[in-house]
Amino acid sequence: QHSEAIITENYTTAEKFLNEVDAACVYLNASTQFTDGGEFGFGAEVGISTNKLHARGPMGVSELTTYKYKIYGNGETRA
């Protein structure tokens, strides 16, 4: 999955969602419109891969590491 969001005031529900949903970016009370290379400070995007593994050839720990970004908001949207 690419990005998922939940809107809730229930802390227990929010933490369960953020920890258990299988997605690269999970949002609490914020818009998924923020899933963008520029928004994360990675520069412009050419494309987004949703595959679990991107590396080819010999692989070490860094190639096998995936990231999950948790974004906390207060109802923000992107203009």
E strand or H helix that includes residue 75: strand 69-76
Q: What is the pLDDT of residues 10-67, one digit of tens each?
A: 999 999 999 999 998 999 999 988 887 777 777 776 566 666 666 677 878 887 788 8
Residue 27 and residue 15: Cα distance in Å, rounded?
11
How far apart are the C-alpha atoms of 34 and 71, rounded to whole Å? 9
Instruction: Supply the pLDDT for residue 73.
Output: 93
**Residue 42, pLDDT score:** 74
